[in-house]
Amino acid sequence: MPGRPGRIPVVRPALAVVPTDTVPPGGFDGFQARFPELCSEPPPPPASLPALIDPKDDSNTRTITPFYDQGGPVEILPFLYLGSCYHSSNKEVLESLGITAVLNVSASCPNHFEGQFRYKSIPVEDNHMAEISIWFQEAIGFIDSVKSSGGRVLVHCQAGISRSATICLAYLIQTQRVRLEEAFDFVKQRRGVISPNFGFMGQLLQFETEVLCH
């Protein structure tokens, strides 16, 4: 079934009743029981890495790029990109993608190119107590304003895993009117490392209820 331009090409199941509390009943165990597809284990650290390093090899002195900084920003929608702080510092990459604006979802990442790109900062820490949902409408409004001007926006935090992914998920829930599960799968197919913290997932579930049940 062809969808309208810009919409996520998925078929939505019947809308289910979702929890209305910021933190789902039963804590993480209860959340995992109800939504196992939204829970994943973080990748284990490379325990054997020291044994693989040859001290005689000069190449070992090179900095290893963290997995979340590898590659570049990914396209979520034609005007919406998701990435890390490192990605936001590469002007050549931003220009090659046609990025005109940057939404910085952190309290520590610098805005590297003030005066050359349009910036908005959302100073949120990545912990389960942070209230990121109070910024949803402001962030969505910023993204829509960039879209309306014919531009493209990069949404990033430190690693492009939790905070910036949460903003992108909220944007899809409201503008595409899809459930969190669908939005999560859609974004994860494009940036496989996304993993909003437990508190943010609870706030997204609450946001889903507010958007889709009213």
- CA torsion angle 117 120 122 123 (round to 10): 70
Tell me which residue has tokens 């949460």. 166
How far, in Å, are 76, 138, 208 from residue 201 at the CA level? 19, 19, 10
Q: d(Cα 24, Cα 53) in Å, to the nearest integer? A: 44
Catalytic residue, chosen from 39, 157, 168, 213, is: 157
Paired tokens of 151: 């531009």
Residue 200: count of CB within 10 angstroms of its CB: 26
Say if residues 176 and 8 touch (Cβ distance below 8 Å).
yes
Q: Has 39 been annotated as catalytic?
A: no
Give the SS3 label for residue 20. Answer: coil
Report, as residue numbers or ranges, the catalytic residues: 157
